[in-house]
Amino acid sequence: MTLLLIAMTLVALPEEGRILFEEANAAYHAGAYDEAIEQYVRLQRDYDVKSAPLFFNLGNAWYRNGSLGKAILHYEAALAVEPRFEPARKNLDTVLQDTRRRLPAPDPAMLEQGSLVRYYPFSPWHSLVLTHACLLLALALLVVRYWRDTPRIKWMGHFLPALALLFFAFAVMGNQATRTAPKLAVALPDEAPVYFSMSELDSPRFLLYEGDRVLIDRFEGDWARVHAYGGERGWTRRGNTGVVEYTTI
């Protein structure tokens, strides 16, 4: 599977990009990890490569370069692109053992309690499909009523548009919930203080350590509100974490 994903990455690249990818791999195998990282980042930036093999290779290079946080960030990015990419999952599990606390990732469900959308079984896209299906059926019933107008058909003609409106409302709410969903992030410095408020004048509530995975549910300027494993919550400088979603965009 790894070879297949790498081949797909190379096929999608122009000649200059393929050469750069091969040069980056050669630099990595030669132990020139800084050079490999620079070239992989160029592939991501200049050629818009957002593939699991690229993030996997970046994770390996950062790990060899001594940066556990950025290694974990890019393994998580690889899995965000391709959840069944087992080399990234295996390396992620290995690198997590080298972190200070070896914590699991927080459960996003702990931030979604009480959300009606959480228990809704359909995605926004499926809700839109159901919305259009109900509207089409309602339109068909209007045609049928031209020849045969019964109480049941009349009732269905009122019920289907109302159901379509309900599905559309859930589509809008689901889309909003997706855009505002907590984002998985990784602590990058050796130690990152987390405060009760957006002020470094306070004493830190707790510390994040390199490689700790957190959830971010809000950004305010240079600050991010983080939720750590175990329910701890507070504000830390935005640059203290790398957000997986932003890495893969």
Tens-digit pLDDT profile for residues 27-46: 999 999 999 999 999 988 88
Q: Residues in the chain, how many?
A: 249
Residue 243 burial (CB count, 10 A) = 20
Q: For 98, list phi and psi in degrees, rounded to 5.
A: -90, -10
**Helices and strands of the chain, counted as H and E runs:** 9, 7
pLDDT in tens, 46-76: 888 888 989 999 999 999 999 999 999 999 9
Q: Whole-angstrom Cα distance, residue 211 to residue 68?
A: 6
Which pTM does this prediction carry?
0.73
For each of the chain's 249 residues, which pLDDT tens digit applies?
Answer: 443 344 445 545 677 888 888 898 899 999 999 999 999 999 888 888 888 989 999 999 999 999 999 999 999 999 999 999 999 999 999 999 999 999 999 987 766 544 555 566 777 778 888 999 989 998 888 888 777 778 888 888 888 889 989 888 877 776 665 556 789 999 999 999 999 999 999 899 999 999 999 999 889 999 999 999 988 999 999 999 999 998 987
In contact, 82 and 102? CB cutoff 8 Å: no
> Which one, of 31, 52, 49, lies nearest residue 40 by Cα?
49
Q: For 150, list phi and psi in degrees, rounded to 5.
A: -110, 160
Q: Whole-angstrom Cα distance, residue 217 to residue 214?
A: 10
Tokens at 50, concatenated:
């957002």
